[in-house]
A and B are shown apart, each in its own frame.
Chain A
Amino acid sequence: DTAVSQTPKYLVTQMGNDKSIKCEQNLGHDTMYWYKQDSKKFLKIMFSYNNKELIINETVPNRFSPKSPDKAHLNLHINSLELGDSAVYFCASSHLLAGGVHEQFFGPGTRLTVL
């Protein structure tokens, strides 16, 4: 199936731990993103990579570090997890349409719970 996939789907961990979330897309898109959706459903962009190059880096604690080994993969590593990091993290990818807009598709999400 062509899609954006993420692993794991659920992640439960203790405060202070380090964890990673992986994302892969086989849509042939050049741009990938990480979003955070909090308990109030607020969906906020964190990072974006285009062809392995970081192009969007919002005000996110530097405990969060994205890594893109190739344009089909974008991973998110989180150090020293805090309670406030509990959220659903969505990966997305996009391709450029005529008119200069990005048509963006989301992965299934990773629900992170920090205890």
Chain B
Amino acid sequence: QQPVQSPQAVILREGEDAVINCSSSKALYSVHWYRQKHGEAPVFLMILLKGGEQKGHEKISASFNEKKQQSSLYLTASQLSYSGTYFCGTGSNTGKLIFGQGTTLQVKP
């Protein structure tokens, strides 16, 4: 079952914050976040394991709420380079990732 991401699209000004949510109808084993720029490959951002852990990468962090079967990606003080499509993927012990439909983020000067 594909996880659902919200919102579908976000437009920000440089320096503003954003939150992208990823919800699953199934119990989560792990959540993987990627950013993809137009015409490029998805780039790994971080992995979260069940246990409510929060991980950080530059000014991007994420949380994992096992009870709510949800993960959220937090982008603070956004930069132009943050523009792209963000995907969450729900993982399993086989490595299989099921990706959400993506959230397009546009950061304007």
Contact = CB atoms under 8 A, between A and B. Distances in A.
B42 to A, nearest CB: 5
**Range for the number of chain B residues in contact with chain A:** 20 to 34
Interface stretch (A36-44, A61-69, A72-80): A36-44
Interface stretch (B15-23, B71-79, B87-95): B87-95
B98 A99 contact: no
A56 interface: yes
Interface in A41-72: 41-45, 48, 50, 55-56
Given A56-B96, A108-B41, A101 B101 contact: no
B94 A55 contact: yes
B24 interface: no
Interface of A: 31, 33, 40-45, 48, 50, 55-56, 90, 94, 97, 99-109
